[in-house]
Structures are given as C-alpha cells and as structure tokens.
Amino acid sequence: MTTRAEAFAGLSVALITPFDQNGQVDFERLAQQVQFQIDAGTTCVCPVGTTGESPTLSHEEHDQVIAETVKAAAGRIKVMAGTGSNSTEEALRLTRFAQKAGADAALVVAPYYNKPTQEGLFQHYKALAEAVDIPLCVYNIPGRTGRNIEPETIVRLAQFPNIAMVKEATGSMDQASQILCETDLTVLSGDDSLTLPLLSIGGRGVISVVGNIVPQDMKALIDAFERGDLAEAQRWHRKLFPLCRDMLSLATNPIPVKAAMRLLGRDSGVLRLPMTPLDENQEKQLRNTLAGYGLL
C-alpha cells in the first residue's frame, strides 16, 4: 500500500523541548535529543508540538526551536515542525517560517478553543496549503482542541496535493478507516498504544511520545509489522503497552515523559507553568514501570 507521504512512514518522534534549571530552552540538549533519534534510525523528529510544550513557548522561542532542530538534523533525519494555532494568520506565519528554515513538513494541529465549524476547519487548512509547498500533516486531537475534524472534512482537504498526512489521535478506528478508504493520505497514529491497530488497517506509522525514551523498540514494532511478522509486532506491542499507558495516564503529556527522561539522565525534567511535576506517588509508579521495562 503506497500513500501520499511514504517518505514519512515509520517512526516519527514528538520531541520534548528541554529546559535548563532556569527554565530557558536548552539548545545543546535539544541537539543531543535529535542526535539520539538519528542514532536510533528514526524517520522524522517533530519539534514544538504538544510534547514540545509549544503553548508555553514565546513566538521567538518557537521559531528558534524549529531552526535549531533543522540545524541539528543537518539533512540526516526529517523534521516535521509543529506550526498549528487557533489563529489562521499565526499558523500561516509559523508554517511559512518552518518552510523557510528548511523543515521537511509541518504538523498542524486543528484550531483549538474557538471551535470553528467544519467549513472553518476546511478554510484554515486550505489557506495553509495554498501558502506553502512543504507537506502538511493535519493533526486531529479533539481531546485537546475541543473539535473533531470530521472524516468528510479531511476527505475534502485531500484535494490539496501538499496536504499529505493525518496524525490520527481521535482514538476512533472507524474515523481512521474512513480516511484510509476514501483518500491516499498517509495516516500516522497519534497514540502510541494504538500504533499496531492502526497499522493493521493501513496506517503507515506513528508520531510517538514514548519514542523519546525507546525509539528502537517502537521502530522494531513497526518493522516487524512491515515484514509480515505479526507475532513479533504483537510481542513488542505488549512490551511497550505499560510504558505507553503511563506516558498518557499518569498526568498530562509531556509531564510523565519528561519525568522519565530525568530519571534516565537524559533531561532536566524542568517544565513551564501551568505544567507541574508528578507527585510522589505518580513518580513511584513511573519508576516501577521503567524498572519493569528494564530501563532502571
């Protein structure tokens, strides 16, 4: 099965934005995170999305994280920059900047809070598609945005050649199936724990949170499925599931993944308000999960 953006099939990782102890963006550590993903054989990194705490970054920081990620990638790994906003003008500015900075694609979350109609959602993405040449990934996560991009709207958007991907985070296999049945869009899982089910209906990969910690393992799941070894893919799914579950259930993303990376010595764990650290009991549970996985 060939889809519109086959170059982005496989494992993409939604990067955290590392902060130093003073709460400033740690660009040296960001470059290390990119190198970590290159070494793991990851297809693509996605800076300044939900996991990258984009809501608490200034506009200048947002641009700088995109530019520094592209610089660190140096053409060795694809970069899909988060450029969404609930303001179409702001999304246009960010997406144009991402293209100018050298990003390979843009990850564009549905406009949040103001809850546009389906026609408003269509016009929002249409404006972006007509303004840039890089591939766009429609990021549908109604639990965050308050509005589902209905499959009929995504089918309409498929008329634009550079609307190439959907990050499917509705949790609905029926919605994903409709998109896959009616378009050639590349559908990527937006939920780590649903990667294997989505692959089974024609999805082409995942934009992963847990990939910040164990990219090789998530890649192994996808690779096993691609070569037809379903038993091996299921084995990886069962191994990864507790880790995937905790990254989303202990607290709001990216609180748990940043805590995990701190425990593994790969990040300071510093968050920006209104995000706050795990409490003592939550951290104990996370430690137990990491230990059970063999990471601690």
Q: Does a structural domain hold residue 274? A: no
Q: Does a structural domain hold residue 12? A: yes
Provide the residue range defining the domain that includes 85.
8-229
Q: Could you tell me if 183 and 228 are in contact, meaning their C-beta atoms sit under 8 angstroms apart? A: no
Angle subtended at Cα 124 by Cα 123 and Cα 128, rounded to the nearest 5 degrees: 110
Question: What would the two tokens of residue 79 be?
Answer: 């970069």
Angle subtended at Cα 45 by Cα 43 and Cα 48, rounded to the nearest 5 degrees: 160
Q: Does a structural domain hold residue 149? A: yes
Per residue in 136-180, pLDDT (tens digit) is 999 999 999 999 999 999 999 999 999 999 999 999 999 999 999
pLDDT at 46: 98
Q: Does a structural domain hold residue 136? A: yes
The CATH number of residue 165's host domain is 3.20.20.70
Exposed e or buried b per residue across 172-184, where buried means at least 16 C-beta atoms within 10 angstroms of its C-beta: ebebbbbbbeebe
Tell me the pTM.
Answer: 0.97
- Strands 78-82 vs 105-109: parallel, antiparallel or unpaired: parallel
Q: What percent of the chain has pLDDT over 70?
A: 100
pLDDT at 81: 98
**Amino acid letter, residue 203:** G
Q: Does a structural domain hold residue 176? A: yes
Please state the domain count of the chain: 1
Q: Could you tell me if 120 and 146 are in contact, meaning their C-beta atoms sit under 8 angstroms apart? A: no
Q: Does a structural domain hold residue 144? A: yes
Q: Quick check: 78 pLDDT over 90?
A: yes
Q: Could you tell me if 149 and 110 are in contact, meaning their C-beta atoms sit under 8 angstroms apart? A: yes
**CA 142 – CA 111 distance, rounded (Å):** 10
Which candidate, 225, 138, 142, places its Cα nearest to that of 183? 138
Exposed e or buried b per residue across 216-229, where buried means at least 16 C-beta atoms within 10 angstroms of its C-beta: ebbbbbbbbbeeee
Residues with catalytic annotation? 139, 167
Which residues are paired to 105 by β-bridges? 80
Q: Does a structural domain hold residue 291? A: no
**CA 180 – CA 88 distance, rounded (Å):** 27
Q: Does a structural domain hold residue 246? A: no
